[in-house]
A and B are shown apart, each in its own frame.
Chain A
Amino acid sequence: MKTAILGALLALGMAGKPISGEIDFATLSGFEYEEGMTLPRDVRRLDGDKVTLSGFMEPEFEGEEDVAFFMLIDDACGCEGMPKLNEIVFCAMPDGETTEILSGMVTVEGTLWVGEQVEDGEVVALYTFDVDSVYK
Chain B
Amino acid sequence: MKKKVLIERRVALLKSTKLFKEQLKSSLEIKANEIDVKDTMFAKIKYEINEREREMKMSKSFKNNKMKKIMLAGVIGVFSISCVAAPIIKPVITSWIGSSSSQATFNKFPNEKEVQKAVGFLPKYVEMLPNDFTFDSAYISDGYGQDEEGNKVVSTKSIVFDYERAGEVQDKSSKMLILCIEDVPEEFVDYGDAEEVSCGELKLYYNEQLVKNVPAEYELTEEDKLNEASGKVEFNYGTAEVEEIKRTSVVWYENGLEYVLINGDYDLTKDQMLDMAKTVINK
Q: Decide whether A and B assemble into one complex.
A: no
